[in-house]
A and B are shown apart, each in its own frame.
Chain A
Amino acid sequence: MTKKVKIIEFLVRGALGICALVTLITTIGIVLVLGSETIPFFEEVSITDFLFGTRWTPLLEPKSFGVLPLVSGTGMIMLGSAFIALPVGITTAVYLSEFSSLKMRAVIKPVLEVLAGIPTIVYGYFALTFITPILKIIFPQTEVFNAASGAIVVGIMVLPMVASLCDDAFQSVPKALKEGGYALGATSFEVIGQVIIPHSASRILAAFILALSRAIGETMAVTLASGANAQFTFSPLQSIQTMTAYIVQVSLGDTPQGGIEYKTCFAVGSLLFLITLTMNVVGQSILFRYRRSSK
């Protein structure tokens, strides 16, 4: 019997191994694809012009390829969303892990899961038709497409991620440590602020980094809500364009393959990929180190 079994075993192992390699090939594919269009792009446009130029008009004459307007647009979305997602996310986690009854947990957790599962296009629609009109009432100078509206919904979108990663972190604080604090007569505010949060600081940081990286890569919500007007500005009520929204804008038009406009997509995509990859690697390695040391 053993011979037949051994052959099957060998084949199964091989087949499963090939499947596992698909993910590796995907990564290699991403790098090759982005590189193969980005390198020719930089033969036509100098890297310094690209990285430090403040005018982004690749689709209009005179063409200019300074990516900073897209970066500032993306940065504004990121900062704005952080402004919502980080405080709300972390207090939600505090509430879930320290104060809530099991019943409340059973309500909040699914709500967060649903919020995390709603497609980004829906958030975009919500921003455009609900949040922007409200902003207009408060700040009459608000434009139809504006950074703030996009940032708010992206913040809502990444909030569940911050909350659940921080909740995991708080749950893993040793019970003895918390009880030590309470036994000294500390209030929960003091225990949370001086025991729990310092103890899980690095994991909270990882949660923030991973959530912000998600915010940077967000596409449809900001495309719908924040516009397609690449300008180097820091005013949240104006129309802007993010890196992702630019790629969408080009894809919707009839851009011939091989032209400089086509290549800009990949150059911007490469920049986006590098930024998010760096953040993810940093965030994941913090979590990974923690997972290993906790064993």
Chain B
Amino acid sequence: MIDKFKSRKRTEKIFRAACFGLTFFSVLILVVLLFHITMTGHKYLSWEFLTNWPSRFPHKAGIKAGIWGTIWLISITACISIPIGVLSALFLEEYKIRGKLGKVIEINVANLAGVPSIVYGLLGLTIFVRYCGFDRSLLSGAMTLSLLIMPVIIVSSREAIKAVPDAIRFGAYALGASKYQVVFGHVLPIALPGILTGVILALSRAIGETAPLIIIGALTYISYTPESVMDEFTVLPLQIYNWASRPNEEFHYLAAGGIIVLLAVMMSMNFIAVMIRQRASKKVKL
């Protein structure tokens, strides 16, 4: 009896230690990853690195084209995906359509979120690049990325909309408001911080996307900044990929420099998203 008790206790101890250890594996990995990248990339971080065009010579190469391409691409993507995504979420959540169509759309969104990004690339290549004739332009890239992050925006916006208390809706209806007046007068403004958080996180995911842009034929060697949505472009992750896939080690350091910039942008976006979420959580609790 006593022995049994002892051995159970020992198992419990080992188990706890294992859980703790394996959980910290994630923290360890993150630290090692960030450390490794900083160590290899920091020596190329300089003003010249940010303002130079790509080059065959590592010490002359920079990410100006990538930065401008990324800014353009994400801005256009935001303009396309945010309105459509948020309005879809409002439709699904507020104008609940009973019956089949509503359910089909709901299941469809969940499954679209799991489609590999490269498949979106094949879609964009066929529809936007070839069929619509937008070629390898920013517009093709932005539309492809929009389709890619739309499910993410819809899912997170729906969560934010769902969190708006029904009491607010009923209060407005009891004043004789019509549905759109309730939705756009109350539900959307209250849900906005939550929606914004989701949107920023989705866009920060889009910034890191590489595969679909390779498929639609975005270039890696570009020495100009885009001036219209029909221009060809490159983005930061493509530049990184290009450098990382070269055998010359010097280019690997360059890639790490690019990664530092990319991660810095993404983390500041995530930080903003978290701030919005925290500020909003203090308001509206009925």
Contacts of A252 in B (CB 8 A): 214
Among B130, B180, B263, find the residue whose CB has the most chain A CB atoms closer than 10 A: B180
A244 to B15, CA, bound (A): 38
Is A214 part of the binding interface, using a Cβ–Cβ cutoff of 8 Å? yes
Indicate whether A99 sits within 8 Å of B19 (C-beta atoms), given known contacts A121-B210, A125-B240, A129-B252.
yes
Is B208 part of the binding interface, using a Cβ–Cβ cutoff of 8 Å? yes
Work out how many contacts link A and B, with CB atoms closer than 8 A: 258
Is B126 part of the binding interface, using a Cβ–Cβ cutoff of 8 Å? yes
How far in angstroms is the closest Cβ of chain A from B157?
A: 11
How far in angstroms is the closest Cβ of chain A from B40?
A: 7
Contacts of B184 in A (CB 8 A): 12
Among A19, A87, A247, find the residue whose CB has the most chain B CB atoms closer than 10 A: A19
Say whether B84 contacts A22, CB under 8 Å. yes
Contacts of B181 in A (CB 8 A): 5
Say whether A121 contacts B19, CB under 8 Å. no
Interface size band for A: 35 or more
A118 to B237, CA, bound (A): 12
Is A256 part of the binding interface, using a Cβ–Cβ cutoff of 8 Å? no
Option from A33, A92, A112, A276 in Cβ contact (under 8 Å) with B127: A33
Say whether B180 contacts A121, CB under 8 Å. no
A266 to B130, CA, bound (A): 15
Indicate whether A9 sits within 8 Å of B214 (C-beta atoms), given known contacts A87-B22, A210-B114, A273-B116.
no
Say whether B116 contacts A219, CB under 8 Å. yes
Option from B32, B88, B116, B208 in Cβ contact (under 8 Å) with A118: B208
Indicate whether A125 sits within 8 Å of B27 (C-beta atoms), given known contacts A17-B91, A27-B112, A276-B116.
no
Indicate whether A248 sits within 8 Å of B11 (C-beta atoms), given known contacts A23-B105, A26-B147, A273-B115.
no
Say whether B91 contacts A19, CB under 8 Å. yes
Sorted from nearest, which 8 A-B pairs have the closest CB atoms?
A217-B116, A119-B208, A16-B91, A280-B114, A219-B211, A19-B87, A187-B12, A91-B22
Other contacts beyond A122-B208, A251-B214: 15, CB < 8 A: A9-B178, A9-B180, A23-B109, A27-B108, A29-B127, A108-B27, A125-B255, A130-B32, A156-B29, A189-B11, A210-B114, A213-B114, A217-B115, A223-B241, A248-B215
